[in-house]
Amino acid sequence: MTMLSRALSQPTLELTESSDVSPTRTISLHPCRRRMLSSCTSIEIIEPVTSYIEERVLVINTGGTIGMTPHPDGLSPEPNAFVKNLRKLPFFHDEKYAKETRLSEYYGDETLVLPLSKDKKRIVYTILEYNPLLDSSNMTTEDWAKIGKDIEKNYESYDGFVVLHGTDTMAYTASALSFMCEHLGKPIIVTGSQVPIYEMRNDGRDNLLGALLIAGQFVIPEVCLYFYNKLYRGNRTTKVDTESFNAFASPNLTPLATAEVGITINWDTVWRANTTAKFQVSPELNRNVGLLRLFPGITTATIRAFLQPPMEGVVLETYGSGNAPDNRDDLLAELKEATCLRGTVSPFYHTGTVLLKAGLIPGSDMTPEAALSKLSYVLAKKDLCLDAKKKMMAQNLRGEMSAELAGAKLCMRDSRFIQAIAKFLSISCKEELEAIRDALTPSLACAAAKTGDIETLEALKEMGSNLCLCDYDGRTPLHVAACEGNHKVVEYLLGLGASVYAKDRYGDTPLSNAVRFRKKEVVKLLRKTGAHFSKDELDEAGTELCCLAACSDLVGLEIFRLAGADLNKPGYDGRTAIRVVGSRDTYSTFK
Ligand SMILES: NC(=O)C[C@H](N)C(=O)O
């Protein structure tokens, strides 16, 4: 039997399952094999291609030095050159795999594939190039909104997003995107370079490769900035150097990841939205905002002029830890008149408290870029009154400022269980204790999720463990709870920011698990949180729906429908599930 005829015969072999309690049996063709089958016109022998998990990344190329070439007036972006050039570089495109799996026929010429990663994943990436490509100094809030809307439009088709961008205003764009992208569950990584990727010595290749590998392999639900082997939270960054490859700093937050011999993710630092709402983009931004930096001798006339309409909000950059002159009543009176936000605050000095008394909102340790874009985002919220907007400004929305430590937290070192293991293994240093914690707690949490034991999950959380982490098989407590249909546990984990996009080693998400085990209520809950089938699962659904229809498995069909599958999607032979049913009674029940 050829690979093709074996694959085609599977649907009929799998048609028999239809009970309410047993899992839905589905045929899972690897994306590359499905591509090969879909482009076949006649039966032919297909050489086996080893199946690895494919992850899809959308690269939005907005411009910047990374894709610039020299022109008489200096460097400027070169249109329609980027993909062509990457295609020629073997570490950016595996031509052999692409040919064998008919990548271009399926996804188009703008899609390339990286060589197999160390973690045995294939990153298939599509480049969406903007026209015109921009030097980032020319970017406006409209460009930020366009990026946001494109991500929203393509959100369900990709596992992660990379935004290629100039470095000059990259920290502003990353900050703005972090606020505009509400309830984000997938990585968005902004990157670029100091030297064009076309030059012999450049930083663009490393930056792009690192960003692609992280966006394709790790579910970091944040807008990040990747530069010079470090992944930062985007709204914590600022450009600090125009000459060095190490152009960005994150002054008040350690990197989320470092890419050295291996890629190490600092999961404890990753920000997770504690919401169970679906991803959406709020592209509206208020442009009547400003950034005013205090300097010795600033006049009240300058401040007054700055605060004139149409100005609706101002970020005040102060001295040191949030100080301003306390001997300048004229200046304080001007500020009192306005509603401002200042960059950082410490009630340590009298010169610091005067601004609080003048009614300004403390900005904690936000960067000016983050404070300004946050203000612009918050002021654009039409349905909020001024007080609500002020409150929102003081809240930590996307990890843009350091949270106050809410009392001493029980840590792993206090756990008798871990202590006993540490003693047994003669371990005492913090790093080793944390390594034990990280190795053991995902499995313990999965076990608790299986039995619906929220108390144990809570205890593990109290001990400092991250309930969103996966075990040795890539399975998270959410996967397990979804399989078991433990609705309460699923709700609890989603509330802690567990990712509905986490994939286990077989490429399964909590949603595909809930569908397989027919956990209808969990499917509904996961969908409410934004979970969706991947493009490949949707493409494959037609055949699976036909299988279910052939044995009148209404429960299975209903679960697929709830999970977002289109009942009109044709199967491998062009027939839809509705045609397969053939009986009016059955048809009317699931129409
Ligand atoms: N390195 C760079 O990308 C600088 C360039 N002027 C830009 O911001 O687009």
pLDDT digit string, tens, across residues 432-483: 777 777 788 899 999 999 999 999 999 888 877 889 999 989 999 999 999 9
Q: Is residue 286 pLDDT above 50, yes or no?
A: yes
Q: What percent of the chain has pLDDT over 70?
A: 82
Is 417 domain-assigned?
yes
Say what the pLDDT of residue 322 is.
67
**Ligand 1 centroid distance, CA of 168 (Å):** 5
Q: Is residue 346 pLDDT above 80, yes or no?
A: no
**Same-domain status, 124 and 200:** yes
Residue of 78, 135, 169, 369 best suited for mutating to test ligand 1, as the one with most atoms within 8 Å of CB: 135
Q: Could you list the residue range(s) of the whole structural domain that residue 443 is in? A: 412-528
Q: Is residue 27 pLDDT above 50, yes or no?
A: no
Scanning the structure block, which residue is given the tokens 């313990």?
444
Q: How does DSSP assign 36-94, residue by residue? A: HHHT-SS----------EEEEEEEEEEESGGGEEEETTEEEE-TT-HHHHHHT-TTT--
Q: How does DSSP assign 520-551, residue by residue? A: HHHHHHHHHTT----HHHHHHHHHHHHHHHHT
CB of 192 shorter than 6 A to ligand 1: yes
Cα-based angle 496, 514, 26 (whole degrees, multiple of 5): 145
Is 83 domain-assigned?
yes
Whole-angstrom Cα distance, residue 123 to residue 208?
A: 13
**Ligand 1 centroid distance, CA of 191 (Å):** 11
Instruction: Please state the domain count of the chain.
Output: 4
Say what the pLDDT of residue 5 is.
31
**Same-domain status, 209 and 338:** no
What's the pLDDT band for 294 if we cut at 50, 70, 90? Answer: confident
Backbone angle region of 102, left / alpha / beta, with phi > 0 → left and psi within -120 to 50 → alpha: left
State mean pLDDT over 252-256.
95
pLDDT digit string, tens, across residues 397-417? 999 998 654 333 445 555 666
Q: Which atom from ligand 1 is nearest to the alpha carbon of 247?
A: 1
Residue of 136, 164, 193, 240 best suited for mutating to test ligand 1, as the one with most atoms within 8 Å of CB: 136
The domain boundary residue, chosen from 260, 281, 302: 281
Q: Is residue 195 pLDDT above 70, yes or no?
A: yes
Q: Are the beta carbons of 293 and 317 closer than 8 angstroms?
A: yes
Nearest Cα residue to atom 3 of ligand 1:
166
**Ligand 1 centroid distance, CA of 227 (Å):** 13
**Same-domain status, 202 and 110:** yes
**Same-domain status, 521 and 584:** no
**Same-domain status, 147 and 259:** yes
Residue of 62, 65, 71, 207 best suited for mutating to test ligand 1, as the one with most atoms within 8 Å of CB: 65
Question: Residue 167 forms beta bridges with which residues?
Answer: none
Residues 352-383, buried b or exposed e (16+ Cβ, 10 A)? Answer: bbbbeebebbbbbbbbbbbbbbbbbbbbbeee
Say what the pLDDT of residue 435 is.
78
Q: Are the beta carbons of 531 and 509 closer than 8 angstroms?
A: yes
**Ligand 1 centroid distance, CA of 223 (Å):** 19
* CATH number for position 239: 3.40.50.1170
Q: Is residue 328 pLDDT above 90, yes or no?
A: no
Nearby residues of 459 by Cβ (< 8 Å), 6 or more positions away = none
How does DSSP classify residue 319? B
The domain boundary residue, chosen from 482, 503, 528: 528
Whole-angstrom Cα distance, residue 363 to residue 315?
A: 9
**Ligand 1 centroid distance, CA of 63 (Å):** 8
**Same-domain status, 96 and 199:** yes
Nearest Cα residue to atom 1 of ligand 1:
194
- Return the structure tokens found at 589: 């029940």
Whole-angstrom Cα distance, residue 13 to residue 253?
A: 55
Say what the pLDDT of residue 66 is.
98
- Identity at 459, one-letter amino acid code: A
Least-confidence region, from 14-23, 85-94, 118-127, 440-449: 14-23
CB of 203 shorter than 6 A to ligand 1: no
Q: Are the beta carbons of 228 and 168 closer than 8 angstroms?
A: no
Least-confidence region, from 110-119, 285-294, 345-354: 345-354
Is 211 domain-assigned?
yes
State mean pLDDT over 15-19.
36
Q: Which atom from ligand 1 is nearest to the alpha carbon of 168?
A: 8
C-alpha Rg value of the chain to the nearest Å? 27
State mean pLDDT over 3-11.
32
Is 403 domain-assigned?
no
**Same-domain status, 162 and 219:** yes
What's the pLDDT band for 1 if we cut at 50, 70, 90? Answer: very low
CB of 508 shorter than 6 A to ligand 1: no
Nearby residues of 443 by Cβ (< 8 Å), 6 or more positions away = 471, 472
- Name the 3-class secondary structure at 182: strand
CB of 64 shorter than 6 A to ligand 1: yes
Question: What are the strands, taking DSSP E only, across 135-245?
Answer: 160-164, 181-182, 188-191, 223-227, 230-233, 238-239
The answer to whether 136 is annotated as binding is: yes
Residue of 62, 82, 130, 137 best suited for mutating to test ligand 1, as the one with most atoms within 8 Å of CB: 137
Is 480 domain-assigned?
yes
Whole-angstrom Cα distance, residue 366 to residue 335?
A: 20
CB of 167 shorter than 6 A to ligand 1: yes
Q: Which atom from ligand 1 is nearest to the alpha carbon of 193?
A: 1
Task: Give the sign of the dihedral formed by CA 98, CA 101, CA 107, CA 109.
Answer: positive
Q: Are the beta carbons of 263 and 239 closer than 8 angstroms?
A: no
CB of 166 shorter than 6 A to ligand 1: yes
Is 399 domain-assigned?
no
**Same-domain status, 442 and 496:** yes
Say what the pLDDT of residue 173 is.
98
Q: Is residue 49 pLDDT above 70, yes or no?
A: no
Whole-angstrom Cα distance, residue 313 to residue 517?
A: 52
- Return the structure tokens found at 40: 């076949």
What pTM was estimated for this model as a whole? 0.82
Nearby residues of 382 by Cβ (< 8 Å), 6 or more positions away = 284
Q: Which atom from ligand 1 is nearest to the alpha carbon of 65?
A: 3
**Ligand 1 centroid distance, CA of 236 (Å):** 19
**Ligand 1 centroid distance, CA of 173 (Å):** 13
What's the pLDDT band for 530 if we cut at 50, 70, 90? Answer: very high
- Name the 3-class secondary structure at 201: coil
Q: Are the beta carbons of 234 and 225 closer than 8 angstroms?
A: yes
Active site residues: 167
Least-confidence region, from 117-121, 353-357, 366-370, 549-553: 353-357
CB of 497 shorter than 6 A to ligand 1: no
The larger pLDDT score, comparing residue 10 to residue 543, is at: 543
The larger pLDDT score, comparing residue 431 to residue 567, is at: 567
Q: Which atom from ligand 1 is nearest to the alpha carbon of 194?
A: 1
**Same-domain status, 440 and 485:** yes
Q: Is residue 513 pLDDT above 90, yes or no?
A: yes
Q: Are the beta carbons of 35 and 2 closer than 8 angstroms?
A: no
How does DSSP classify residue 401? S
Least-confidence region, from 68-72, 78-82, 324-328, 421-425: 421-425
Backbone angle region of 120, left / alpha / beta, with phi > 0 → left and psi within -120 to 50 → alpha: left
CB of 137 shorter than 6 A to ligand 1: yes
State mean pLDDT over 561-579.
90
Q: Which atom from ligand 1 is nearest to the alpha carbon of 242?
A: 1
CB of 62 shorter than 6 A to ligand 1: no
Q: Is residue 576 pLDDT above 60, yes or no?
A: yes
Whole-angstrom Cα distance, residue 79 to residue 367?
A: 33
Q: Which atom from ligand 1 is nearest to the alpha carbon of 135?
A: 9
**Ligand 1 centroid distance, CA of 198 (Å):** 15
Helices (H) and strands (E) counted in the chain, each on its own, are 24, 19
**Same-domain status, 228 and 299:** no
Is 406 domain-assigned?
no
CB of 343 shorter than 6 A to ligand 1: no
The answer to whether 169 is annotated as binding is: no
**Ligand 1 centroid distance, CA of 135 (Å):** 6
CB of 136 shorter than 6 A to ligand 1: yes
- Return the structure tokens found at 55: 């992850």
The domain boundary residue, chosen from 248, 281, 314: 281
Whole-angstrom Cα distance, residue 189 to residue 209?
A: 12
How far lies 144's CA from each of 13, 193, 220, 323, in Å? 50, 19, 21, 32
Is 400 domain-assigned?
no
Say what the pLDDT of residue 92 is.
98
CB of 65 shorter than 6 A to ligand 1: yes
How far lies 375's CA from each of 144, 288, 369, 380, in Å? 15, 10, 10, 8
**Same-domain status, 86 and 167:** yes
Least-confidence region, from 278-282, 393-397, 491-495, 583-587: 583-587
Say what the pLDDT of residue 407 is.
38
Backbone angle region of 188, left / alpha / beta, with phi > 0 → left and psi within -120 to 50 → alpha: beta
Q: What percent of the chain has pLDDT over 90?
A: 63
